[in-house]
Amino acid sequence: MKSSCDLAVHAAALTKTFGPTRALNGVDLSVPAGSVYGFLGPNGAGKTTTLRILATLLRPDAGAAQVLGHDVVREPDAVRARISLAGQFASVDEDLTGSENLRILGRLQGHRPRAARARAQELIEAFGLVDAADRPVKTYSGGMRRRLDLAGSLTAAPDLIFLDEPTTGLDPAGRTQVWAIVRALADQGTTILLTTQYLDEADQLAARIAVIDHGRVIAEGTPGQLRESVGSSTLHIRLTHPEQRPEAARTLERVFGLPVHLDANPAALSVSGRTPHQAATALADLCRDGTGVAGFSLGRPSLDEVFLALTAHSDSGQEHVA
Amino acid sequence: MTLAPPAQATPAPTSGPPAFTPGTRPVPPSPASAALTFAWRALLKIRRVPEQLSDVIAVPIIFTLLFTYLFGGALAGSPHRYLQFLLPGTLVMAVLLATMYTGVNLNTDLSKGVYDRFRTLPIWRPAPIVGALLGDTLRYLLASTLVIALGVALGYRPGGGVSGVLLAVALVVVFALALSWVFTLLGLVLRSSNAILSLAMVVLFPLTLASNTFVDPRTMPGWLRAVVEANPVTHLVTAARDAMAGTATLGQVGTVLLASAALVAVFAPLTMRAYRTRQ
Ligand SMILES: Nc1ncnc2c1ncn2[C@@H]1O[C@H](COP(=O)(O)OP(=O)(O)OP(=O)(O)O)[C@@H](O)[C@H]1O
Ligand SMILES: [Mg+2]
């Protein structure tokens, strides 16, 4: 077995079925200690299920996982003593105030009443919840609730924190605040495993990323490696005549050597490339062939495009880019 | 031609990084400390949402008034004389009916994300349930106080005095806590609080009505009398009645404690198994 000393999480071949649904289909995961690890995937990919297994809430049907060196099924208490979980749907008590929530969690971690109160106060101040501290959580905005949820994970210095979609539903300012908290935690040496549906977010925060789809990890690596495999920039094209799309797709495929994504809009298509130069070549070729281009833009690849590219890779047996 | 800027520009940070220390990791709490924290949580919730007590307050008052004046004249010649017989039974009925909310509350609580967090804490496994039961003790004491205060106001006089009344309340609360484990189990295995409430009616009404609460079993046909005398609630009512009259025997107290222990011995392990395997 692989050494798990410097790994915060080591999971091998995790499977989990819910009735007819195969939620996890052999998930392998190695999360190095002391960094932010991104777990990226679309709805229903198996992110929450994986996190719940690692956080001892769910037993895997098969496979094994060690968290901080302890087996999640055989030694759940040893794991629980050192982890924290902020679930996908805020895991705080709606009827109680923010301060009461944090004090209860502090007491349940083993703090004496005075220490629990002091820690709650510190977190309330750090997370900008002073004005709301004595209001029931049901009066909080989504962003405040998320911050309280994060604070709830920090009452007792965990070594590893699981954050399930910490920014889903937040506005850009709220998202930036959560990112700042995650970065501050990482700077303190806490390992963070966070799930997200946004490549952008994983890219911003994570030292390494695993991409999961249909219950399997289909790619793993640093954001740089991942982008490399997908293309750093995506060319979006809107055609004047939708009937020219097949022709345009062939041209793009030739220039980029990668699968072309056909948009729901019949006049639109996109492809990821490694350099803006490829985009320039492709546009020139389209122009020469007489394809009418109504507009184009060059942006970062969307999650859709990452998946398209990665699924193409895994079809040819090249599963791990790292 | 110019290229458009990247579609997903990152917003600039609006504030500096939050300032907090890593904090310390204490030794995990003892089972008692964890359970007491959950009891404290239950009390905080009652303070924040006091309307959850409305049933616990209304039922004892309605029962005491209704049964005294409804049956009093017919069964004992006068409501006043009947009250002397009935009141300990109303006490039992009011408190036992309050046990079903244990299951309802646990069920609603479990459907919230906060329980996922509790289940990842390094605490004694039964602490959330034991703590909730400790919190429920307050409801049971509240219901008991209401029944007795109203009874005394209507003319009930306990021959056993304050100590007799306290013994009766203690017996009723102990039995209610034991019976609560039936409802923690139902709260864990049933899908909705409505399902729990309807099953609770099916369990609690026969249990409390087919007893000696309202009439002496000697007036009943033989088969019913056999059922009533086997019903643990009958033994509880007898013990409470005699305790309040000051004539309780050790045997009566022992029977109630034994029945309570039996309920816990069966339903506490079943509850904990359901709690462990619930996903
Ligand atoms: N308790 C459950 N009962 C039945 N099916 C479940 C259960 N939990 C998860 N599933 C199914 O397992 C699959 C994976 O779900 P999971 O919640 O892990 O996905 P996810 O990646 O977290 O998705 P999302 O981004 O929507 O949160 C889905 O098809 C889901 O419907
Ligand atoms: Mg999820």
Task: Give residue-wise pLDDT tens across range B18-34.
Answer: 778 888 889 999 999 99
Q: Which of residues 50-79 of A touch B (CB under 8 A)?
A: 52, 55-59, 77
A120-167 residue pLDDT tens: 999 999 988 999 999 999 999 988 999 999 999 999 999 999 999 999
Q: B175: burial class by Cβ within 10 Å (0-12, 13-18, 19+)?
A: buried
Q: Please check the confidence at residue A322 and state whether its pLDDT lies above 50.
A: no
Closest CA to A63 of A19, A95, A24: A24
Range A1-5 average pLDDT? 45
- pLDDT > 90 in chain B, percent: 54
**Residue A119 and residue A99: Cα distance in Å, rounded?**
10
If pLDDT is split at 50, 70 and 90, which confidence band does A76 have?
very high
Residue B16 lies in a domain: no
DSSP secondary structure letter of residue A91: -
If pLDDT is split at 50, 70 and 90, which confidence band does A174 have?
confident
pLDDT recorded at residue A4: 43
Furthest CA-CA distance within chain A: 76
Question: For A262-271, B7-16, B239-248, which range has the lowest pLDDT when averaged over its residues?
Answer: B7-16
d(CA A171, ligand 1 centre) in Å: 25
Closest CA to B209 of B93, B47, B127: B93
Instruction: Assess contact for A39 and A210: CB atoms under 8 A.
Output: yes
Instruction: Assess contact for B138 and B98: CB atoms under 8 A.
Output: no
Question: For A38-52, A67-81, A218-232, B152-166, which range has the lowest pLDDT when averaged over its residues?
Answer: A218-232
**Measured between CA atoms, how close is A247 to chain B, in angstroms?**
23
If pLDDT is split at 50, 70 and 90, which confidence band does B16 have?
low
A299/B26 touch (CB, cutoff 8 Å), yes or no: no
If you compute the radius of gyration of chain B from its CA atoms, what whole number of angstroms results?
A: 24
Question: For A56-60, B62-66, B86-90, which range has the lowest pLDDT when averaged over its residues?
Answer: B62-66
- pLDDT > 70 in chain A, percent: 92
Identify which ligand lies nearest to the alpha carbon of A16: 1
The pTM assigned to this predicted structure is 0.83
- Show the domain range for B210: 32-43+50-277
Max mean pLDDT range (A318-322, B167-171, B271-275): B167-171
Instruction: Assess contact for A304 and A39: CB atoms under 8 A.
Output: no
The domains located in chain A, with CATH, are 4-221 (3.40.50.300), 232-300 (3.30.70.920)
If pLDDT is split at 50, 70 and 90, which confidence band does A321 have?
very low
**Residue B116 and residue B102: Cα distance in Å, rounded?**
19
Between B173 and A313, the more confident residue is B173
Question: For A212-221, B49-58, B136-145, B258-267, which range has the lowest pLDDT when averaged over its residues?
Answer: B49-58
pLDDT recorded at residue B7: 43
Identify which ligand lies nearest to the alpha carbon of A197: 1
Instruction: Assess contact for B213 and B93: CB atoms under 8 A.
Output: yes
Q: Please check the confidence at residue A230 and state whether its pLDDT lies above 80.
A: no
Question: Measured between beta carbons, which residues in chain B are less than 8 angstroms from residue A300?
Answer: 6-8
- pLDDT > 90 in chain A, percent: 61
Residue B231 lies in a domain: yes
Q: Please check the confidence at residue A65 and state whether its pLDDT lies above 80.
A: yes
Average pLDDT over chain B, rounded to an integer: 88
If pLDDT is split at 50, 70 and 90, which confidence band does A302 have?
low
CB atoms within 10 A of CB B32: 12
Helix (H, G, I), strand (E, B) or coil at A152: helix
- pLDDT > 70 in chain B, percent: 94
A250-267 residue pLDDT tens: 998 888 887 888 888 899
B117-135 residue pLDDT tens: 998 999 998 999 999 999 9
Q: Pick from B13, B16, B113: which is nearest to A87 by CB?
A: B113
Q: Please check the confidence at residue B157 and state whether its pLDDT lies above 60.
A: yes
If pLDDT is split at 50, 70 and 90, which confidence band does A271 have?
confident
Q: Is the CB of A16 under 6 A from ligand 1?
A: no
Angle in degrees, CA B5, A304, A216, rounded to 5: 140
Range B231-239 average pLDDT? 95
If pLDDT is split at 50, 70 and 90, which confidence band does B15 have?
low
Average pLDDT over chain A, rounded to an integer: 88
Residue B1 lies in a domain: no
Q: Is the CB of A48 under 6 A from ligand 1?
A: yes
pLDDT recorded at residue A97: 96
pLDDT recorded at residue A312: 62
pLDDT recorded at residue A1: 42
Range B137-163 average pLDDT? 92
Instruction: Assess contact for B102 and B185: CB atoms under 8 A.
Output: no
Q: Please check the confidence at residue A55 and state whether its pLDDT lies above 90.
A: yes
Q: Pick from A87, A188, A276: which is nearest to B117 by CB?
A: A87
DSSP secondary structure letter of residue B137: H
| Alpha carbon separation from B78 to B69, B82, B158, B172 (Å, rounded) | 8, 6, 18, 27
**Residue A97 and residue A134: Cα distance in Å, rounded?**
5
Q: Please check the confidence at residue B63 and state whether its pLDDT lies above 60.
A: yes
pLDDT recorded at residue A24: 96
| Alpha carbon separation from B82 to B67, B131, B209, B242 (Å, rounded) | 9, 38, 17, 15
Q: Pick from B8, B120, B122: which is nearest to A200 by CB?
A: B8
Residue B25 lies in a domain: no
| Structure tokens belonging to residue A309 | 């590219």
CB atoms within 10 A of CB B54: 9
Residue B125, phi then psi, degrees to nearest 5? -55, -45
Q: B17: burial class by Cβ within 10 Å (0-12, 13-18, 19+)?
A: middle
Q: Please check the confidence at residue A304 and state whether its pLDDT lies above 70.
A: no
pLDDT recorded at residue B131: 94
If you compute the radius of gyration of chain A from its CA atoms, what whole number of angstroms results?
A: 23
**Measured between CA atoms, how close is B139 to chain A, in angstroms?**
18
Residue B211 lies in a domain: yes
Q: Is the CB of A143 under 6 A from ligand 1?
A: no
pLDDT recorded at residue A319: 37
DSSP secondary structure letter of residue A242: G
Residue B124 lies in a domain: yes
Say how many residues make up chain A: 322
| Alpha carbon separation from A140 to A125, A282, B110 (Å, rounded) | 16, 50, 21
| Structure tokens belonging to residue A158 | 């965990």
Q: Does B19 touch chain A (CB under 8 A)?
A: yes
Max mean pLDDT range (A110-114, A296-300, B103-107, B218-222): A110-114
pLDDT recorded at residue B12: 41
Q: Please check the confidence at residue A220 and state whether its pLDDT lies above 80.
A: yes
Range A61-79 average pLDDT? 94
Q: Please check the confidence at residue A310 and state whether its pLDDT lies above 60.
A: yes
Residue nearest to atom 11 of ligand 1 (CA): A23
B26/A156 touch (CB, cutoff 8 Å), yes or no: yes
Question: How many structural domains is chain B composed of?
Answer: 1
Residue B112 lies in a domain: yes
Residue B7 lies in a domain: no
